[in-house]
Amino acid sequence: MTTPAAITLSTSGITAADVLAVARHGARVDLDPAAREQVAQVRAHVDALAAGETPVYGVSTGFGALADTSIPPSMRHALQRSLIRSHAAGTGPEVETEVVRALMLLRARTLASGRTGVRPVVVETMLALLNAHITPIVHEYGSLGCSGDLAPLSHCAIVLMGEGRARDRDGVERPVPELLAEAGIEPILLEEKEGLALINGTDGMLGMLLMALADLDELTRAADLTCALSVQGLRGRDTVFAAQLHEPLRPHPGQAASAANIHALLADSPIVADVLAEGSRVQDAYSLRCAPQVAGGVRDTIEHARTVAERELAAAIDNPVVLEDGTITSNGNFHGAPVAYVLDYLAIASADLASIAERRTDRMLDKARSHGLPPFLADDPGVDSGFMIAQYTQAALVSEMKRLAVPASVDSIPSSAMQEDHVSMGWHAARKLRTSVDNLRRVLAIELLTAARAIDLRAPLTPSAPCAAAISVLRKTVEGPGPDRFLAPDIAEAEARLRDGSLLAAVQEVSGPLR
């Protein structure tokens, strides 16, 4: 793809599209001069408070349960340095590069808001890391989603200090001082409040939410497509997708959008026309007939989550925070509950969308319910097993997704000597949602393979033009019906076509834009 245009951090913030451009596509980030000036002006308030006699949390005191401990000026550099070192306490597998880049960009966005009291150089150094494609190594475990994503952000902040671990643009781990020197980046000696400002935000869980929303936008359309393919593979009817049955009778916008998509994807299908002419069945199974209600509910859940994400994207989260009059005051805005709830909600919706897709797949493999297809779509049933085990794989994915749908946000383990006695677990809600979204794509890939094969076996009847376009893209790398062969590469190819957008692009050239 072409290199995305640079984005500019200003006091008004950034968009979800900006986050995706930087996190996934390596866009450059620049700091608006006006934002730099605002950051510098706010820093002057912090410097004045640091020189005063009144204790200010994060400026002249310790942290968490040690908030009442006064720190003399001679020890404040050590205070900030020790904060980052001690909080960079993650463990487990490394987090994906795109998550770390989103994490850093979103923290830089808050730093550039003028609400945190850091010096401009702190923001500029964070952006320099992003632009040099230096990626701190962040671990899976460490955040409780309250007081911010402390451990993950600390693993980023420690690299600004010239310590910790990081990888270069090629993904090779190299010594941090070497990476910074090569990029012309000076390590930062943190001043009062700056260590705390670097780590006290919901940036990790928000970044993962924004990326999940982008993926789910595509996957809900893909689910409408695989449903339309399965309807034809199973000799289903299109009448239940007519517009007059949805918005006028049950005005959920997501349901109306899904029904409209499926109806458009089935338009002028010779298979459906043959079914209606035959007139042997009055109703299809729920997994076909109720597809818009399920996929529509997923869409409406996505829209609710998007509202929360946009609100959080407009927030400036730190503790303490600098108000417009220069006052520095403690608050609880770092608590990740609002984000955690929708991350969990999306995992539930994702699991159910996968569940109904798996039921359609299983129906196409069962000779008692497939209306004339061979058992398991096998070329020579008995000798060949066809797609029998592909459905097992799909069932395993769905089963895991159901486990991942158990909410993380209802759990809370007190920390910091009971000072932080209620936490959100939003980071873990985000981590499991990422797995769920990946599994959903794999489930839909298997339904795509199964439905395409079922449709091929309906010859000489043919599918609708949009669905024929989808099968044409698939058949460029996946063969049609025949004897059993190594199936894992076919599943991987189908998943890749869903991931790279080529399948939906080909379909929409014929059907027009899907909602």
| Distances from the Cα of 295 to the Cα of 35, 288, 289, 300, 340, angstroms | 42, 11, 12, 9, 22
> What is the C-alpha to C-alpha distance for residues 433 and 406, in angstroms, rounded to an integer?
11
User: Quick one: 337 exposed, middle or buried, by C-beta within 10 A (0-12, 13-18, 19+)?
Assistant: middle
Identify which of 490, 438, 480, 444 has the alpha carbon closest to the alpha carbon of residue 98.
438
User: Quick one: 28 exposed, middle or buried, by C-beta within 10 A (0-12, 13-18, 19+)?
Assistant: middle
- What is the SS3 assignment for 389? helix
- Who contacts 215 (Cβ-Cβ below 8 Å, separation ≥6)? 437, 441
In the chain, how long is the greatest CA-to-CA distance?
Answer: 88
> What is the C-alpha to C-alpha distance for residues 357 and 445, in angstroms, rounded to an integer?
10
SS3 sequence of 296-307: HHHHHHHHHHHH
- Who contacts 82 (Cβ-Cβ below 8 Å, separation ≥6)? none
User: Quick one: 48 exposed, middle or buried, by C-beta within 10 A (0-12, 13-18, 19+)?
Assistant: exposed
Backbone dihedral angles phi then psi of residue 420, each to the nearest 5 degrees: -105, 80
> What is the C-alpha to C-alpha distance for residues 196 and 200, in angstroms, rounded to an integer?
6
- Residue 232: both structure tokens together: 């034809």
8 A C-beta contact, residue 321 and residue 333? yes
8 A C-beta contact, residue 156 and residue 59? no
Would you say the C-alpha torsion 11, 434, 128, 81 has a positive or negative sign? positive
Q: Strands 7-9 and 29-31, how do they pair?
A: parallel
- The residues carrying an active-site annotation are 57
Q: Where would I find the H helices in 366-483?
A: 388-404, 426-456, 465-475
- Residue 287: both structure tokens together: 């997994």
| Distances from the Cα of 108 to the Cα of 10, 141, 213, 357, angstroms | 10, 22, 21, 40
8 A C-beta contact, residue 98 and residue 209? no
Identify which of 296, 283, 292 has the alpha carbon closest to the alpha carbon of residue 235.
283
How many CB atoms neighbour CB 149 within 10 A?
34
